[in-house]
Amino acid sequence: MSGYTLDDLRAVMRDTVGVDESVDLSGDIADLAFSDLGYDSLAVLELASQVQRAVGVPIADELALEAPSPGAFVACVNQALTEAGS
């Protein structure tokens, strides 16, 4: 597997609750805070749940909630994928 990308996450974000419709997800969102994108903690957990289903690897709620941005969340997903592969 080549890893989980920001574009993969962006696709899930478009289909997940919590996103502010006025936010342009096609821009550079890697370092924006989830709260700036319209996501509260419940929406981040729902996002993590959707990603878990997509990649087939558990992502701890704590990791999802501690990820301050989509870029950091992608790093957490890739870490979980790496750990699951070893």
Tens digits of per-residue pLDDT, 23-51?
678 888 999 999 888 888 998 999 999 99
Confidence (pLDDT) at 8: 94
Rounded to two decimals, the pTM is: 0.86
Mean pLDDT of the chain, nearest integer: 87
Q: Does position 19 have pLDDT exceeding 60, yes or no? A: no
Give the pLDDT of residue 16: 74
39: buried, middle or exposed (CB in 10 Å: 19+, 13-18, 0-12)?
buried
Angstrom distance (rounded) from CA 75 to CA 45: 16
CA separation for the pair 58, 36 (Å, rounded): 26
pLDDT at residue 1, as a whole number: 47
Query: Is the confidence at residue 85, as pLDDT, over 50?
Result: yes
